[in-house]
Amino acid sequence: MKRKNSAKRKVAYFLSNNVNKFREVARILEEYGIVIALIRLKKKEIQNDSIEKIAKVSAEEAAEELNLPVVTEDAGLFIDALNGFPGPYSSFIYRTIGVEGILKLMSGVENRKAKFKSAVAYAEPSGKSRIFSGEVSGDISVTAKGDKGFGFDPIFQPYGYEGRTFAELDTDEKNAISHRGLAFRKFAEWYISKVR
């Protein structure tokens, strides 16, 4: 949606090292007149079983260090038959065994149900913070398909899309139903009412 009056735009500072994520988030928030500035910090994420906790700690630490309100997101792929693996370890697993490694682990497995989950954290230098969550259900495909998106997109078939994977959807189609789209829309609704 185009907005004529740029003076009415709001800014959010998004901490991430993932440019693909940044593109998706910029497009979602644009619908609300929110412009995001990308902040890249060389920082190690904490290891934790909860994506909410990881997002919250990253946002709180960055907000304090930069003396700015900061938004971060932690996301992951949770596969039923693997008891939620890789979940909060998705980034490490993607870098190590990757898409093909997950397909091997799932070879011959009948239950292919999985979820992408997103936790968006907003933190202020004062220490105040908030979490917004989103998730989307689907199946792990048998082979990788599509060349759009990033990460595990080529093996995730959201329900209701005739077996197409996230990597076969356009950014707007993915954003309309994705874990990230849901969580960031909740954030945006709250943020625009807060800074109005």
- The residue type found at 124 is E
Among 74, 106, 183, 184, interactor with ligand IMP by CB under 6 A: 74
**Closest to ligand IMP by CB, 4 or 44:** 44
Interface stretch with ligand IMP, choices 27-35, 36-44, 143-151, 183-191 (CB under 6 A): 143-151
Q: Is 91 in the site for ligand IMP (CB under 6 A)?
A: yes
Kindly determine how many residues on this chain lie close enough to bind ligand IMP according to the rule CB under 6 A. Answer: 18
Give the end-to-end CA distance of the chain in Å, rounded to a whole number.
19
Smallest distance, Å, CB 72 to ligand IMP? 9
Q: Is 155 in the site for ligand IMP (CB under 6 A)?
A: no
User: Residue 150 or 161: which CB sits closer to ligand IMP?
Assistant: 150
49 among known catalytic residues? no
∠ Cα 28 30 32 (to 5°): 90
* Residue 76 touching ligand IMP (CB under 6 A): yes
Is 94:152 a contact under the CB 8 Å cutoff? Answer: yes
| Residue 146 phi, psi (nearest 5) | 95, 155
Q: Which stretch binds ligand IMP (CB under 6 A): 7-15, 32-40, 138-146, 150-158?
A: 150-158
152 touches ligand IMP (CB under 6 A)? yes
Q: Tell me the helix, strand and coil percentages in the chain, rounded to 5.
A: 40, 25, 35
Angle between helices 179-194 and 19-30 (to 10 degrees): 50
Q: What is the dihedral of CA 127, 15, 10, 193, to 10 degrees?
A: -50
Which member of 41, 82, 105, 150 binds ligand IMP (CB under 6 A)?
Answer: 150
Q: Cα–Cα distance between 72 and 60 in angstroms, integer?
A: 9
Question: What residues act catalytically?
Answer: 74
Residues lying near ligand IMP in the complex (CB under 6 A): 18, 73-77, 90-91, 94, 116, 149-153, 166, 178, 180
